[in-house]
Amino acid sequence: MESIRKKAKELLDSKQVQVIIGYENGTSNKVRAAFITDPTQVDRLIYDERCTQNLAVYLVKHEVKHLGKMGIVATIPVMRTINMLISEEQVKPENVVVLGIGEDGKLLDFPDLTVMESFLQKAKIEITAKDKEAMEKLKKMTTQEKFDYWSNALETCFKCYACRSSCPLCYCTRCAVECNQPQWIPVQANKNGNYEWHMLRAMHLAGRCVSCGDCGRACPLDIPVHLLTMHMAEESKRLFGVDSGFSMKMESVLSNYKLDDKDNFIQ
């Protein structure tokens, strides 16, 4: 924690960045995102196991970008997201300084982003045991069981789009659900509308999702929507050998065609 504060102060003092995006204590024993622009305020920054929000979502937020060059406290999923955002030209590498956090919770020194890239190549990447268990359970289901499970789980969805808003890779200003000529996805939060929305979201994140799980965490109704995108991440690795967010030059799995692409995904 001290090392994060020290580094943040250094970056702000030397004007290498204008804002540090990190975590601070919130209300009711929660933690939340902090935007530190004043070096005397760095003591607000904290880091512990509660800090799971994917802060990269703020790298693409207009009012945060407006503050200037950004330093960001980044755990492994956040680092992977940063790589994705750079690959997709949403973030300029020169506008971001990463205060990396390793698996042990210690600050990592990244003089530049290529060091972060090489760190990620060697890092241990795993989803939580709870998510792993849930994924295994789903995999064992028959197609009908899976369909029933999701129809049931998604029926309560009221389309607050917290899953979309919390996801740093859902950065479109006009989402496909808001394109209405034609209206691809029903706006109303009914059975079909919900099902189609979540399938669309999963497909748009296929090969891009870094499995941070923030969409599921954000859902106020506790629908495990992150399992859908995590599954797509597993599938793109299985079918195309691509694990997202390990380099700043990722090719998008679903929008690049290669002659040796397998076509056994049609099941």
Partner 1 sequence: MEIEKKLIKKASLEKLFEKLQAKGNKIFAPVSKDGKTEFQYNPSYAEVTYDHIQTTQSLKNTVFPKIENLIRFKTDRSGVEVTEVDLTQVQSLVLWGVHPCDAAGFNALKSIFMWDYKDEYFNSRLQKIAVIGLSCHKSDDNCFCTSVGLNPGGTQGCDILLTKLSSGDFLAEIITEKGKAIVTEASELFETAPSETKEGNLAQVNQQFSHEKVTKNLAGAFEHPFWVENSLRCIGCGACAFVCPACACFDIQDETKGKNGKRLRCWDSCGFGLFTIHTSGHNPREVQSQRWRQRILHKFSYMPERNESLGCIGCGRCSRACPVDMNILEQLVSLEKL
Partner 2 sequence: MEVEKITEEAPEVKTFRLKFKNPEDAEKFEFKAGQFGEYSVMGEGESTFCIASAPTRKGYIECTFRKAGRVTGALANLEEGETIGFRGPYGNVFPIDEWKGKNLLYIAGGIALPPMRCVIWNTLDLRENYKDITIIYGARSVEDLVYKNELKEWEERPDVKLVTTVDPGGQTPDWKGEIGFVPTVLEKVAPSSKDTIAIVCGPPIMIKYTFPVLEKLGFTDETIYTTLENRMKCGFGKCGRCNVGKYFVCKDGPVFTLKQLKELPDEY
Number of residues this chain uses to bind partner 1 (CB under 8 A) = 39
Q: What backbone torsions phi and psi does residue 107 show, to the nearest 5 degrees?
A: -70, 135
Binding partner of 181, given partner 2, partner 1, none, CB within 5-8 angstroms per partner class: partner 2
Query: Which one among 14, 181, 255, 267 touches partner 2, defined by CB under 8 A?
Result: 181
Strand 96-101, strand 107-108: pairing: antiparallel
Other Cβ atoms closer than 10 A to 46: 17
Residue 68 CA, distance from chain mean position: 22
- Least separation in angstroms between CB 190 and partner 1: 6
Shortest distance (Å) from residue 12 CB to partner 2: 32
Residues 53-72 that bind partner 1 (CB under 8 A): 53, 57-58, 61-64
Rounded CA-CA distance 11/19 in Å is 9
d(CA 45, CA 203): 36
Residue 26 binds partner 1, judged by CB under 8 A: yes
The residue (of 156 and 180) whose beta carbon lies closer to partner 2 is 180
User: In terms of CB distance, is 25 or 252 closer to partner 1?
Assistant: 25
- On whether the CB atoms of residues 213 and 230 are closer than 8 A, the answer is yes
Q: What DSSP assignment string belongs to 30-91?
A: -EEEEEE-SGGGGGG-B-STT--S-GGGGGG-HHHHTT-SEEEEE-HHHHHHHHHHHHTTSS
Residue 258's binding partner, choosing from partner 2, partner 1, none, with beta-carbon cut-off 5 to 8 A by kind? none
Q: Which residue among 14, 28, 144, 152 contacts partner 1 (CB under 8 A)?
A: 28
Contact between 160 and partner 1 (CB under 8 A)? yes
Q: Which CB sits closer to partner 2, 1 or 176?
A: 176
Inter-residue contact 210 to 245 (CB < 8 Å):
yes
Interface positions with partner 2 (CB under 8 A): 180-181, 183
Binding stretches for partner 1 (CB under 8 A): 26-28, 30-35, 53, 57-58, 61-64, 158-162, 164-166, 173-174, 178, 186-190, 214, 217-222
